[in-house]
Amino acid sequence: MATSKETNDALIVPAGRAPLIMLLAFTGGFSIMSIELLAGRMLAPYFGSSIYVWGSIITVFMLSLSLGYLLGGRLSLRSPSLGRFGIIFLVAGGTITPLLLGGNAIMEVVFAAVEDPRYGSLLASLALFFIPTVAMGTISPYAVRLLVDTVGHSGHVAGLLYFVSTLGSALGTLLTSFYFVLWFEVTSILVSLGLALVLCGVIALLVSARAGGGVAGDKA
Amino acid sequence: MRAVLTSLLAGMLTALVMPTHAEVIFEKRSLYRNIQVTDDADRRCLKFANRQHRVSRQSCQFHDDPNRLVFDYGKLVFTAFLLNPEPERILVIGLGGGSLPRLMQELFPGARIDSVEIDPAVIEVAEKYFDYRVRPDDRVLAQDGRVFVRRALLRGQTYDFVLLDAFTGDYIPEHMMTLDYLQECKRLLAEGGVLVANTFSSSRLYPHETATFAAAFDWIWNLRRRSGNRVIITGNMPKPDLETVRERAAARDWRAYGIDLSANLELITQPSARELEARVLTDEYSPANLLNARD
């Protein structure tokens, strides 16, 4: 699909970087599901914890992820690099900030405006989680592009990355629901996830810069 | 012959396995749980069966005397009416079989009762099998309790009596066991209004629950028999003088309903210092079920 536009079939990052990229994809997958579970916690005081509240949350996450995949694939067409990959993480981490600062205010407004908790929870989920989840959704397809060297290997690489990021999602789900909510406050967990994403971005940028292939280098 | 023997054997086995001879007269898998209505020799019960091996009785009613309460916790709940003897607006969160609001209708015919129950199938059962009648000024709403409370606050509604009874033995709606929720309920109380909570907590959650109620209200009364539930009573008023309340209890005879008010007052205890040290549950930190499971 992308090969018609993409002339450069050579490996974009050295093969030794593969574990790093997989670790980043793992963290992305971990964060998505951890935040999804916390979404239930955040919405419950306003919209309850009925099945339709979870329906709203899962709908919004699936919708946002699908769009994120689309966007991540598109982004990977334009001079893909580890540095740019790092910037995706910085943006994803940053998009959690509005949740922390304005989450309750947004839910107050939605609660007052929409009487039906089904549509209230759907609207609140959209307002709070659409942008962060789209941002996190771009990670996987972009990571595939970074690791694919030949068309023949693309399925193998995609499979490996799905494996790693979905494994991260499984672990994020388990740890959050079994332990994190027992040990920490919702806001603390969200802040930590945001910081983890930002840290991932910084590491990717540093590694990329040390190899002389930073964002600026790519443009040149 | 063999068929007869087999069915006989099956019957004996059933009799051995089942603790009582309760006959299931209605069964439904609702959005939230498996609901059963059973008939015994002397009573009809509503049961929630979450797993095959665990059936919890939610509400029971005597065939010959529907207004006489069956369970201890219900009898303790009515003690709270001593603090507000003439309530006009009553809110019940968690309808179950409707045995408590039914008795409230009997005792306070002029009061308007709003009942909030998340499970429409439970409402159906209360009306059909437990004969819970919604009078013209009463309401029964199929809603999440917390969502109702928030909506009521937005509308500026207040109540003289609020009963929180949304917990089952198996599962606690965690957003309804937090300081933030109790503060919302407190704002719902009219001047002199009373709040009673029926709680199911076992050992690990117990002190957290105490600490959370103590953080939300200026004073609380614990009522607990050795077995089973604890009832917490508090209100939008200065801490009541127990002597005055005892006098009121002596003037009221509700024993026909199974309620011994004077005896109930003697069960009142104050939370211990150790309980109050427990971490308060909030919307940010509310692992009520995880805490309840670890004991």
- Check pLDDT > 70 for residue A142: yes
- What is the pTM assigned to this prediction? 0.87
Nearest Cβ partner for B118 among A50, A111, A186:
A50
Q: Which residues of B touch A117 (CB under 8 A)?
A: 143-144, 147
Burial classification of residue B151, based on how many CB atoms lie within 10 Å of its CB (0-12 exposed, 13-18 middle, 19 or more buried): middle
Three-state secondary structure call for residue B90? strand
Average pLDDT in the B218-239 region? 90
Instruction: Tell whether B173 lies on the interface with A, counting CB pairs under 8 A.
Output: yes
User: What's residue A119's pLDDT?
Assistant: 97
Of the partner residues A45, A47, A112, the one whose CB lies closest to the CB of residue B154: A112
Best residue in A37, A181, A184, A192 for a mutation probing chain B (most B CBs within 10 Å):
A181
Handedness of CA A178, A179, A180, A183 (dihedral sign): positive
What local confidence, expressed as pLDDT, does residue A2 receive? 43
Q: Could you tell me what percent of chain A has a pLDDT over 70? A: 91
Provide, for chain B, the percentages of residues in helix, strand and coil under a 3-state DSSP scheme, each rounded to the nearest 5: 35, 25, 40
Least Cα distance to B257 among B24, B47, B72 occurs for B72
Give the three-class secondary structure for B213.
helix
Average pLDDT for chain B: 88
Residue of chain A with shortest Cα separation from B173: A49
- Do residues B191 and B114 make contact, with C-beta atoms less than 8 angstroms apart? no
Number of A to B CB contacts under 8 A, please give it: 55
pLDDT category, B289, cuts 50, 70, 90?
A: confident
A171 touches chain B (CB under 8 A): no
Most A CBs within 10 A among B122, B285, B289, hence the mutation to make, goes to B285
Per-residue pLDDT averaged across A172-182, rounded? 96
Distance from CA of A210 to the nearest CA of B (A): 41
Which residue in the block uniquely carries the two structure tokens 């069966």? B49
Q: ipTM of this model?
A: 0.84
CB atoms within 10 A of CB A163: 14
What are the tens digits of pLDDT across the range A72-89? 999 999 999 999 999 999
Contact flag B175-A48 (C-beta cutoff 8 Å) = yes
What pLDDT digit, counting tens, does each position of B99-114 carry? 999 999 999 999 999 9
pLDDT at A112 over 50: yes
Among A202, A204, A197, smallest CA distance to A27 is for A197
By C-alpha distance, the chain B residue nearest A38 is B284
CA atoms of A41 and B72, how far apart (whole Å): 33
Helix (H, G, I), strand (E, B) or coil at B93: strand
Q: Would you call B146 and A44 a contact, using CB atoms and an 8 Å cutoff?
A: yes
Tell me the C-alpha distance between A179 and B294, whole Å: 13
Please indicate whether, in this complex, the C-beta atoms of A184 and B285 are within 8 angstroms of each other.
Answer: yes
Contact A187 B284 (CB under 8 A): yes
Q: At what angle do helices A117-137 and A82-94 cross, to 10 degrees?
A: 160
B155 within 8 A of B120, measured Cβ to Cβ: no
- pLDDT above 90: percentage of residues in chain B: 68
| Nearest CA among A124, A95, A122, A94 for reference residue A109 | A124
Which of these is catalytic: B138, B165, B180, B260?
B165
> Environment class of residue B50 by beta-carbon count within 10 Å: exposed (0-12), middle (13-18) or buried (19+)?
middle
Q: What interhelical angle do A18-47 and A51-75 show, nearest 10?
A: 150
User: Residue B217: how many CA atoms within 13 Å on its side-chain side?
Assistant: 31
Contact B24, B38 (CB under 8 A): yes
Residue in A closest to B184 by C-alpha: A45
Tell me whether B178 touches chain A (CB under 8 Å): yes
Neighbours of B64 (CB within 10 A): 7
B93, B149, B175: best mutation site toward chain A, by most A Cβ within 10 Å?
A: B175
- B65 is known as an active-site residue: no
Give the closest of B31, B118, B283 to A45, CB-based: B283
**What would the pLDDT profile of B50-68 be if each residue is shown by its tens digit?**
655 556 767 899 999 989 9
CA distances from B168 to B59, B162, B165, B201 (A): 10, 18, 8, 10
- For the segment B168-189, what is each residue's pLDDT rounded down to a tens digit? 767 789 999 999 999 999 999 9
A7 falls in which pLDDT band (50, 70, 90)?
A: very low
Check A115 against B151: CB less than 8 A apart: yes
CB contact under 8 A, A182 and B287: yes
- B86 in contact with A, Cβ within 8 Å: no
| B144: nearest CB among A111, A117, A182 | A117
Residues in contact with A122: Cβ distance below 8 Å, sequence separation at least 6, in sequence order: A56, A59, A60
CA-CA distance, B74 to B253, in Å (whole number)?
16
